[in-house]
Amino acid sequence: MSFAQVPVVVRSRDVLQEKSPQAQLLRPLIHRGIAPVGDISIGSVVMPGGGISEPHVHEYSEIIVLVLEGHAATLCGEGMDPVLHGPGDPIWVPAGVPHVAVNLSLDHHVVAIEVRTDPHFNKDVVLRPDLRDVAQARVPGLRVDHDEWRAKNWMV
């Protein structure tokens, strides 16, 4: 039996978190350095309360983010248009689309799983500092809207 036919299990607790260029705490779990994957990888992201990533783009890879805990916004495109997602909500971001991840809570963390068509998990990231001011201007309003929604719906 060749290695490619043997499943590979990675214990999340055995993989160290690393701070990525886009200022996120990533835990690359399965990627080409761990298993003979084709064009796919998976990792986890933990964003502390008040967290916001640097504007960036994955030049060649699509990503799917599935929030497990917390509430997030992904600011997308040159206009940094918000897309809201919470526990159980996946979001797909096409290759080449600038985006920013935002934790909508100042008090609670966001935990998410990311699947990418980058077999190395974080190799094709290009920072977009030109979008930082636009992204930063969007965040306070999103957080106020989120806090009002939580208060109205008794969400904690």
The Cβ of residue 100 has, within 10 Å, a number of other Cβ atoms equal to 25
C-beta of residue 88 within 8 angstroms of C-beta of residue 70: no
Positions of the chain with pLDDT under 50: 1-2, 154, 156
Name 19's bridge partners: 25
Amino acid residing at 130? D
CA dist., res. 149 & res. 141, Å (int):
12
Domains of the chain plus CATH, in order, are: 3-153 (2.60.120.10)
Instruction: Write down the pLDDT at residue 5.
Output: 75
What is the pTM assigned to this prediction?
A: 0.87
- pLDDT tens track for 124-148: 999 999 999 999 999 998 888 777 7
The Cβ of residue 116 has, within 10 Å, a number of other Cβ atoms equal to 26
C-alpha closest to that of 58 among 86, 107, 21: 21
